[in-house]
Amino acid sequence: MTKDKIFKGAYESRNFSFEAFSLTKEGAEKQIRKALKDHTKQFDLEKDWFHEDDIFVVEYKLNTSYRDMSEIKVTK
């Protein structure tokens, strides 16, 4: 684990956007799964309402600019 990056776990449903952040990829994935599980309980949904394959984790470097989840790189 390094201090110069962070990971974002995310899931987009028809009605909600879910995000979870961690210093590790595993932590972000664990937290986004927890968010979906908690949402399922809160709204009394079927356990399989979301698609596991649509969960994703993105790595970000701190103090870096991004556009559409990609680092903005300017060439001179």
pLDDT tens digits, 21-74: 999 999 999 999 999 999 999 999 999 999 999 999 999 999 999 999 899 998
pLDDT at 3: 78
pLDDT for res 2: 64
Closest C-alpha to 43, from 19, 16, 8, 20: 16
Distance CA 57, CA 17 (A): 14
Q: Spell out the domain ranges in the chain.
A: 5-71
Burial of residue 58 (CB within 10 Å: 0-12, 13-18, 19+) is middle
pLDDT of 16: 96
Rg (CA), the chain: 15
pTM: 0.84
- pLDDT value for 69: 84
